[in-house]
């Protein structure tokens, strides 16, 4: 039967394509991309004039809360948010309850997510048992069950000896370790960046060095072991500088940042809005500049959401008691275009690379491009549309977004996964998933 998408500007970074082309999809795969495709009359045609068409976006850092915290989010609700945000693949972190430190949980994530979500969901395995940083998990088993990477995200592996052994082991299994860098002695008891705002408000602050000290350590360990290390949620200029130098030395490190680290500075905490409470914390204006420079010069490989749902009851408490984290699947593209493309920090092509090719390479996923024969995971969006994100728009079960009320630029219009259309004109189409 097939689906023909006409009139869009196709951007595919892997193939160096940025042009007005038609795209033909059949049996779940990309069959052809060229100017003016003529297709048999039985083909469905999707008009995409004025829109951008790219490979489906990949978010390689999300917390989907299943198993254990289905009150915060489920694969079903997360997938709805992902569709509206233009994401066709999500990578789920291991700090669930119970954590993904054994085969059983990983198999559960894969089988359960397939029942609830049309969006591809990949699972990350824990590095250590219960994420305690003490004993390595059965990493080979986790790989066998489908873990695409290992991470104790949410926690930092404090013991350098254990971190070293974990890196060596992961290298043996050809899997990247995603490192959450936090010196917990420096960050203990604190919940905001150490800055004028924290001094003024009487908060204990988390200095940037809490992150950069661990980044430095892990770079040295990556050098020592030859392992591939990916730094999660980079937030400060010290980390960006260290990673830039490490890459110059050809140490196998990569890293990511999140939209909030190039949008909000630490002063927003003056409002006591707990949706701004996140770890690592929002940093200073100079750090925002450094993050943007890091994105522009390639030091920062990809952009992720670190989607972290928390229920309203959990967040609606005193600032110091609220859990850390914000949701971000629906707003990532819109805020990134506003803060990076409109300000000429990145071209649209570069931005799309951060959401497609880059995460795919790091995790070795066969996604992120529109090469002929690849899975037809496609995101189509209006690059100039201005829209205001409201609480009512939120598909996630949790509503903890600091972007509520923000005007974003760029709106997702259609999402195709495996050749099937799941989002049309910004609305989720009803679908049945195979049992």
Partner 1 sequence: MNNWKKKDLLGLEDLTAEEIKLILDTSSVFKEISTRPIKKVPTLRGQTVVSLFFEISTRTRTSFELAAKRLSADVVSIASDSSSTLKGETLKDTARNIEAMKVDAIIVRHSCVGAPHILAKLIEPSVINAGDGAHEHPTQALLDLFTIREKKGRIKGLKVSIIGDIAHSRVARSDIWGLKKMGAEVTVCGPRTLMPPFIENFGVKKTNVLDEALRDADVLIFLRMQLERQTSNLFPSLREYRATFGVDKEKLKIAGKDVLIMHPGPINRGIELSPDIADGKYSVILDQVTNGIAVRMAVLYLLLGREG
Residues forming the active site: 306
313 lines the binding site for partner 1 (CB under 8 A): yes
**Total residues interacting with partner 1, rule: CB under 8 A:** 18
Q: Burial code of 424-435, b = ≥16 C-beta within 10 A, e = fewer? A: eebeeeeeeeee
Measured from the CB atom, the residue of 126 and 288 that comes closer to partner 1 is 288
- CA nearest 121: which of 93, 151, 95? 93
H-state helical runs in 125-250: 139-145, 160-172, 184-187, 196-201, 209-225, 237-248
Helices (H), 273-324: 285-296, 312-315
Among 174, 318, 373, 425, binds partner 1 (CB under 8 A): 318
431 contributes a contact to partner 1 by CB under 8 A:
no
The residue among 40 and 202 lying less far from partner 1, judged by its C-beta, is 202
Say whether 312 sits in a helix, a strand or coil.
helix
Contact status: 317 vs partner 1 (CB under 8 A): yes
CA–CA distance from 309 to each of 84, 136, 325 (Å)?
Answer: 16, 27, 7
286 in contact with partner 1 (CB under 8 A): no
Positive or negative: CA dihedral 420, 423, 424, 427: positive
Q: CB 46 → partner 1: shortest distance, Å?
A: 47
Query: What six digits make up the tokens of 124?
Result: 């990350």
Report the nearest approach of partner 1 to the CB of residue 317 (Å): 6
Instruction: Encode burial over 292-312: b for 16+ CB neighbours within 10 A, e otherwise.
Output: bbbbeeebbbbbbbbbbbbbe
Nearest-approach distance from CB 205 to partner 1, in angstroms: 7
185 binds partner 1 (CB under 8 A): no
**Segment interacting with partner 1 (CB under 8 A) among 146-154, 176-184, 232-240, 312-320:** 312-320
Q: Which of 32, 43, 311, 319 binds partner 1 (CB under 8 A)?
A: 319
State the nearest-atom distance from the C-beta of 266 to partner 1, in Å.
11
Q: By CB under 8 A, is residue 34 in contact with partner 1? A: no
CB of 404 to partner 1, least distance (A): 16
Q: Rounded to an integer, what distance in angstroms lies between the CA atom of residue 198 and that of residue 184? A: 18
| Residue 90 phi, psi dihedral angles, 5° rounding | -120, 145
- Among positions 193-222, residues that touch partner 1 (CB under 8 A) are 194-196, 198-203, 205
Q: Which stretch binds partner 1 (CB under 8 A): 210-218, 315-323, 335-343, 409-417?
A: 315-323
Instruction: Describe the chain by its helix, strand, coil percentages, rounded to 5.
Output: 35, 25, 45
Binding mask 117-156 for partner 1 (x = CB under 8 A): ----------------------------------------
Q: Does 316 bind partner 1 (CB under 8 A)?
A: yes
As measured in angstroms, the least distance from the Cβ of 77 to partner 1 is: 24
Q: Write the CA distances from 389 to 90, 263, 394, 406, integer angstroms.
A: 22, 15, 8, 6
253 vs 278, beta carbon nearer partner 1? 278
Which residues contact partner 1 by CB under 8 A?
Answer: 194-196, 198-203, 205, 272, 313, 316-321
């Amino acid at each position: 039967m097939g689906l023909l998408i006409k009139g869009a500007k196709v951007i595919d970074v892997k193939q160096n394509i940025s042009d007005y082309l038609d795209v033909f999809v059949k049996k779940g795969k990309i069959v052809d991309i060229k100017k003016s495709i003529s297709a048999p009359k039985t083909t469905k045609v999707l008009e995409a004039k004025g829109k951008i068409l790219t490979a489906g976006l990949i978010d390689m850092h999300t917390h989907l809360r299943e198993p254990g915290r289905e009150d915060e989010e489920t694969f079903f609700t997360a997938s709805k948010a992902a569709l509206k945000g233009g994401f066709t693949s999500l990578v789920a972190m291991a700090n669930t309850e119970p954590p993904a430190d054994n085969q059983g949980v990983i198999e559960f994530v894969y089988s359960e997510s397939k029942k609830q979500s049309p969006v591809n969901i990949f699972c990350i395995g824990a590095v250590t048992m219960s994420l305690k940083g003490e004993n390595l998990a059965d990493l080979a088993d986790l790989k066998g069950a489908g873990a695409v990477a290992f991470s104790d995200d949410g926690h930092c592996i404090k013991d350098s000896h254990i971190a070293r052994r974990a890196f060596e082991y992961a290298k043996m299994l050809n899997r990247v370790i995603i490192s959450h860098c936090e010196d917990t002695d420096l960050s203990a008891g604190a919940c905001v960046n150490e800055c004028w705002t924290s001094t003024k408000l009487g908060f204990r602050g988390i200095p940037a060095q809490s992150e950069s000290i661990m980044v430095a350590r892990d770079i040295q360990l990556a050098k020592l072991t030859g392992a591939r290390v990916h730094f999660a949620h980079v937030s400060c200029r010290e980390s960006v500088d260290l990673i830039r130098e490490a890459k110059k030395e050809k140490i196998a490190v990569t890293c990511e940042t999140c939209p909030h680290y190039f949008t909000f500075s630490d002063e927003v905490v003056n409002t006591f809005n707990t949706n701004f409470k996140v770890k690592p914390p929002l940093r200073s204006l100079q750090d925002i500049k450094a993050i943007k420079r890091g994105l522009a010069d390639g030091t920062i490989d990809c952009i992720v959401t670190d989607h972290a749902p928390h229920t309203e009851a959990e967040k609606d408490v005193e600032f110091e008691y609220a859990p850390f984290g914000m949701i971000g699947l629906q707003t990532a593209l819109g805020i990134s275009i506003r803060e990076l493309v409109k300000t000429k920090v990145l071209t649209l092509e570069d931005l799309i690379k951060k959401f497609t090719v880059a995460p795919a390479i790091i995790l070795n996923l066969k996604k992120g491009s529109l090469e002929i024969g690849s899975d037809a995971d496609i995101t189509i969006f209006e690059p100039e549309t201005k829209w205001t994100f409201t609480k009512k728009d939120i598909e996630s079960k949790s509503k903890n977004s600091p972007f509520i009320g923000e005007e974003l630029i760029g709106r997702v219009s259609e999402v195709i996964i495996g050749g099937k259309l799941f989002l049309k004109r910004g609305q989720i189409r009803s679908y049945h998933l195979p049992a």
